[in-house]
Each structure stands twice: as C-alpha cells, then as structure tokens.
C-alpha cells in the first residue's frame, strides 16, 4: 500500500520529532494533541530545529518552507481516521495508549495502519485491543528523532507482512535504518540500555561513585558520548522507571528491579531536563550534580 498522509498522536518531544522527519521526507502530517498550547509548542520546536538545520547548511530555506506547509494540527483525535498510517507517541503508559486506540478505531479507514512509538510495552497486547491486530506494529524512533538514525520495527504476533513492508518503506524514505525486533519487553535498545542506566543509579545509590565520577568514567572509559546519568536525565527519569518496571514485570527477573533511588527521584518530580532537575540541576547556566 502507498502511504501519503500520516497521523501523529502527541506533539511532545518524540511526537514533534517524528512529525519533523516525516514532513521533511515529503509526507503530509496531521499532528494531534489534547491542548492547543501543546500543538503550538510542538510546531514551534519543529520550526526552530529546521531553522537550525538551515543555519548549518543541512537544509535549504525553500525545503523548510515546503516541509512546514505539510503539517496541519488538530485537537480532535477522530480527524486522524483519514490518514494512511497513525503513529501514536503519547506518554509511556499502557492505559493511555489503549484509550487512544479505542477512541480512534471507529473512525479509521479499512487500510489504515496503526503503530505505537512505545519503547517497551507489548505490541501484541496493544494490538489485541483494536479491530486490526494484523495492521498494528511497533514503530520505535530514537530520541532526538531528527538526529538518530535507528528505528526499531516490532511485529506483534498477528502483524502481517504487508504492514511490516509498508512501515519498512517509510523508514527507508526517512533516510533511517530499520532494526527488526521481536515483541518482548523493551525490545532491543532499551532491553540493553535501561539496565545499564539502572545499574549506574545503583552505583550512585550504593556510594561507589558520585554523579560526576560515574558519568566521566563511562564517557572516557567506554567512549560513550554521554554518561548514563546524564542520558537518563535527557530521556526522562519517569520514562526510565516505566521501562524498568515493564522489564521487571514482564520477565520476572530480579536483575531488572528498579533502583530505589530512581523511584525516589521520580516521586520527587525530579524527572531530568524536562523538569529542570534530575541527577543534575539544570536551573542555572551549567548543569550541577544533585548528589
């Protein structure tokens, strides 16, 4: 099938990044969120990021103008029913995602493919709550979407080949690389990454090292571009905790037990960059470790 118009649910950090790369690749995008403020902020971020690309010579002004003209916004979820592909990019909570799909399904065209940008939740389980499990799959972009080259494609138990091939074609048109993952908790990237971040939090919790020494050790000792605690702040500590809980619940192995310190930070509302504090305090000119 030919995908021309894509609906994106959620205009936050991931959603606006997904919309950005889609319109840049020539797709028409209908962006949805629950408030006009969120939509305006999302489109504003796309414009700002594209202006940065133009400034660096990675994009022509005319191409930017054409790309932005392909974005429309709506507060009405059912409007996305007229698209060929829907990419849900709401918060990483299964009940929220299920509610979105249940509201959306009655308005979809028969050929519309449903996907979720979930980083850890069962695709098979999400698909089972819709009328089209064969046309449902995981479409997991990495953050920040315009920069990162990987997209995980996750088949549910019922996903058919036509759906997978159509999504694979979209990834190729975006100029990104697809990795096919099986539908097990956290898929590939987060199955490996999140336990590393969680172990870094345990290392801090147990006093083995400070925030600075842990991040410096991993950057200089293993050539990581960003330390694990800095990366956790960038991702969002609530998202890290949610994925660790999915791993712990889904695989029933104590090695995936979330660190109590990670839970404590989330309880405090210190979720990282997006709230101004996490393992670092971002409220000043330069980030300062909070422990």
The binding site for NAD(+) consists of 10-15, 33, 92, 97, 119, 143, 274
Could you tell me which residues are annotated as the binding site?
A: 10-15, 33, 92, 97, 119, 143, 274
Determine whether 152 is an active site residue.
Answer: yes
CA-CA-CA-CA torsion sign (60, 7, 151, 13):
positive
Determine whether 140 is an active site residue.
Answer: yes
Q: 50-58: which pairs have CB atoms within 8 A and are 24 or more residues apart?
A: 50/20, 50/24, 53/146
Q: How far apart are CA 157 and CA 28, in angstroms?
A: 30
Tell how strand 280-281 and strand 288-289 pair up: antiparallel
Which of 116, 119, 120, 122 is the catalytic position?
A: 119
Residue 213: count of CB within 10 angstroms of its CB: 14
* Contact present, 97 and 127 (Cβ < 8 Å): no
* Contact present, 95 and 14 (Cβ < 8 Å): no
Determine whether 120 is an active site residue.
Answer: no
39: burial class by Cβ within 10 Å (0-12, 13-18, 19+)?
A: buried
Which of 32, 89, 117, 140 is the catalytic position?
A: 140
113: burial class by Cβ within 10 Å (0-12, 13-18, 19+)?
A: buried
Which of 89, 117, 152, 198 is the catalytic position?
A: 152
* Contact present, 183 and 123 (Cβ < 8 Å): yes
Determine whether 119 is an active site residue.
Answer: yes
Which of 32, 120, 190, 198 is the catalytic position?
A: 190
Q: How far apart are CA 152 and CA 139, in angstroms?
A: 6
Residues designated as active site: 119, 140, 152, 190
């Amino acid at each position: 099938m030919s995908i021309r118009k894509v609906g994106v649910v959620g205009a936050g950090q991931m959603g606006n990044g997904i919309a950005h790369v889609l319109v840049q690749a020539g797709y028409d995008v209908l962006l949805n969120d629950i408030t006009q403020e969120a939509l305006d902020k999302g489109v504003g971020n796309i414009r700002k990021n594209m202006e940065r690309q133009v400034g660096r010579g990675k994009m022509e002004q005319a191409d930017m103008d054409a790309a932005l003209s392909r974005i429309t916004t709506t507060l009405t979820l059912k409007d996305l029913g007229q698209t060929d592909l829907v990419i849900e990019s709401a918060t990483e909570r299964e009940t929220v995602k299920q509610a979105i799909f249940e509201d959306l399904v009655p308005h979809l065209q028969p050929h519309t493919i449903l996907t979720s940008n979930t980083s850890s939740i069962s695709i098979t389980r999400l698909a089972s709550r819709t009328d089209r499990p064969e046309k449902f799959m995981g479409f997991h972009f990495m953050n920040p979407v315009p920069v990162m080259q990987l997209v995980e494609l996750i088949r549910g138990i019922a996903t058919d080949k036509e759906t997978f091939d159509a999504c694979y074609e979209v990834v190729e048109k975006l100029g990104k690389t697809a990795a096919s993952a099986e539908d097990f908790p956290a898929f590939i990237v987060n199955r490996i990454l999140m336990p590393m971040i969680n172990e870094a939090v345990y290392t801090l919790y147990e006093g083995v090292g400070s925030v600075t020494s842990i991040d410096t050790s991993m950057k200089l000792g293993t050539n990581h571009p960003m330390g694990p605690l800095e990366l956790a702040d960038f991702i969002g500590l609530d998202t890290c905790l949610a994925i660790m809980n999915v791993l712990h619940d889904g695989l029933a192995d104590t090695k995936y037990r979330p660190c109590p310190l990670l839970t404590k930070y989330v309880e405090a509302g210190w979720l990282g960059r997006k709230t101004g504090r996490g393992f670092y305090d971002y409220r000043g000119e330069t980030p300062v470790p909070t422990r």
